[in-house]
Amino acid sequence: MSLVLDLSGRVVLVTGGTKGIGLGISRAFLDAGATVVTCSRSDVEPPAGTTHHVCDVRDPEAVSAMVADVV
């Protein structure tokens, strides 16, 4: 069974989206046509086709600022 998902025109934010499972999720969203934003505590090279924000998701103020910037 194959899932066909069209997320064109949608923005998704993937925490931890630069490695491991998060990287796989980021790639799947890209394949579905979404605009993908990743975030992590480190300033790292984002996956191709994505943008990246440095954000510690344990800090509510940092999360609010990041979401305001992304949305």
Residue 2, pLDDT score: 64
Residue 20 in any domain: the answer is: yes
Query: What are the C-alpha distances in Å from 3 to residues 14, 20, 31, 32, 45?
Result: 20, 22, 12, 10, 29
Structural domain of 52: 11-70
Residue 53 in any domain: the answer is: yes
30-57 tens-digit pLDDT? 999 999 999 999 988 888 899 999 999 9
The number of folded domains in the chain is 1
Residue 54 in any domain: the answer is: yes
φ, ψ at 14 (rounded to 5°): -115, 110
Task: Name the CA dihedral angle for 8, 39, 28, 24, rounded to a multiple of 10 degrees.
Answer: 180
Residue 40, pLDDT score: 92
Q: What is the pTM of this model?
A: 0.84
Beta bridge partners of 12: 36
Distance in angstroms (rounded) separating the CA atoms of residues 39 and 18 = 8
